[in-house]
């Protein structure tokens, strides 16, 4: 078996975690990442002997049975992941009945995966049902995107339309719109259930007054979604008190037609 630290997904997670920290979206231990590893990568790089049991918070994720998932640890600082991946990251294998997991690599200080593991796993399960190639869930505290939840109505269609109108290409990147979960206590099954319900329809969900979740087949896709929404939200705060002209519903429909988009019909 090759050196686990040379596993391409681990290298990519270290790069993206560092990038997100540098954007200011992952202060302290804010945010968490999880990625389903593909079979080839597991066979080449990942040890399969169980080290210890991992509690997955009372959920059942049959879609993830026997899958290996790379996760960030709870309480781990994103700025430190690059310096010591074996302490800050872990790889778990979901049991064949989907109700528990074993740690097979990492988290060598005895800590657990992220406290948002129920949300991550439930999101993966739902997204795999929609898209069998789905692999990545990223949570972070993207500054302007979460700030939106303090000033816009708590209404997915209003939030979506606002963001579509803040740059021409928003509708191209997230034509299905974005989901919204009003404020809840984080870190358990309840908020996981609420988020996964939204993920049946959306690849991106805002947690009110907390942060955001982006998903995708690749890290680039999930991150690209998060940075595109964040860009639109940033423009919103730059212009909101001084708007003279804006993108109209008609113009958005023209973009949708030009790009042949299956967009949410809220215009
Ligand atoms: P963890 O440190 O447990 O990953 O929690 C961080 C966070 O952002 C909670 O929502
Ligand atoms: Zn958070």
Beta-bridge partner residues of 138 = 33, 214
Crossing angle between the packed helical segments 219-239 and 156-164, to the nearest 10 degrees: 80
Taking the centre of ligand 1 as the mean of its atom positions, its distance from the CA of residue 246, in whole angstroms, is 37
Closest ligand 1 atom, CA of 76? 2
Closest ligand 1 atom, CA of 210? 10
Residue 193: half-sphere exposure toward Cβ, Cα within 13 Å: 8
201-230: pLDDT as tens digits: 999 999 999 999 999 999 999 999 999 999
At residue 211, the pLDDT reads: 98
pTM of the full structure: 0.98
Residue 115, ligand 1, Cβ within 6 A: yes
Mutational pocket test of ligand 1: of 25, 32, 186, the residue with most ligand atoms within 8 Å of the beta carbon: 32
Q: For residue 252, what are the contacts with CB-CB under 8 A and spacing of at least 6?
A: 164, 165, 171, 267
* C-alpha torsion sign, points 164, 165, 167, 171: positive
Taking the centre of ligand 2 as the mean of its atom positions, its distance from the CA of residue 212, in whole angstroms, is 8
Q: Where residue 238 falls among pLDDT bands split at 50, 70, 90?
A: very high
* CA nearest to 210, candidates 193, 191, 229: 191
Closest ligand 1 atom, CA of 73? 4
Mean pLDDT score across all residues of the chain? 98
Residue 74, ligand 1, Cβ within 6 A: yes
64-108: pLDDT as tens digits: 999 999 999 999 999 999 999 999 999 999 999 999 999 999 999
Residue 228, ligand 1, Cβ within 6 A: no
DSSP 51-112: -EEE---S---GGGTT-EEEEEBTT--HHHHTT-HHHHEEEEEE-TTSS-EEEEEE-TTSPP
At residue 205, the pLDDT reads: 99
Taking the centre of ligand 1 as the mean of its atom positions, its distance from the CA of residue 252, in whole angstroms, is 36
Average pLDDT, integer, range 235-246: 97
Residues assigned a catalytic role: 116
142-185: pLDDT as tens digits: 999 999 999 999 999 999 999 999 999 999 999 999 999 999 99
Rounded to whole angstroms, what are the CA distances from 175 to 179, 209, 216, 261?
12, 24, 14, 7
- Token pair belonging to 47: 């040890």
At residue 53, the pLDDT reads: 98
Residue 29, ligand 1, Cβ within 6 A: yes
Residue 123, ligand 1, Cβ within 6 A: no
Residue 26, ligand 1, Cβ within 6 A: no
Report how far residue 10's alpha carbon sits from residue 89's, in angstroms, rounded to the nearest whole number.
9
Mode of pairing for the β-strands spanning 211-216 and 204-207: antiparallel
Taking the centre of ligand 2 as the mean of its atom positions, its distance from the CA of residue 206, in whole angstroms, is 11
21-54: pLDDT as tens digits: 999 999 999 999 999 999 999 999 999 999 999 9
């Amino acid at each position: 078996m090759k050196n686990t630290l040379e596993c391409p997904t681990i290298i990519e997670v270290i790069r993206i975690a560092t990038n997100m920290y540098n954007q200011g979206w992952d202060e302290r231990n804010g945010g968490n990442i999880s990625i389903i590893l593909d079979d080839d990568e597991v066979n080449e790089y990942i040890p399969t002997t169980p080290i210890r049991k991992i509690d997955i918070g009372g959920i059942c994720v049959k879609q993830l049975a026997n899958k290996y998932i790379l996760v960030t640890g709870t309480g781990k600082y994103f700025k430190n992941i690059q310096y010591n991946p074996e302490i800050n990251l872990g790889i778990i294998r979901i049991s064949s009945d989907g109700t528990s997991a074993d740690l097979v690599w990492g988290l060598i200080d005895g800590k657990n995966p992220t406290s948002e593991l129920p949300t991550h796993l439930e999101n993966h399960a739902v997204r795999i049902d929609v898209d069998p190639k789905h692999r990545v869930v990223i949570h972070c505290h993207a500054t302007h995107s979460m700030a939106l939840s303090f000033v816009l109505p708590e209404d997915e269609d209003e939030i979506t339309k606002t963001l579509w109108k803040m740059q021409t290409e928003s509708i191209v990147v997230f034509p299905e719109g974005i989901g919204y979960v009003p404020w809840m206590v984080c870190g358990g099954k309840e908020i996981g259930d609420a988020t996964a319900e939204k993920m049946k329809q959306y690849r991106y969900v805002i947690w009110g007054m907390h942060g955001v979740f982006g998903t995708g087949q690749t890290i680039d896709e999930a991150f690209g979604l998060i940075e595109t929404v964040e860009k639109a939200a940033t423009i919103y705060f730059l212009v909101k008190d001084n708007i003279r002209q804006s993108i109209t519903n008609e113009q958005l429909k023209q973009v949708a037609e030009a790009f042949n988009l299956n967009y949410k019909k809220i215009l």
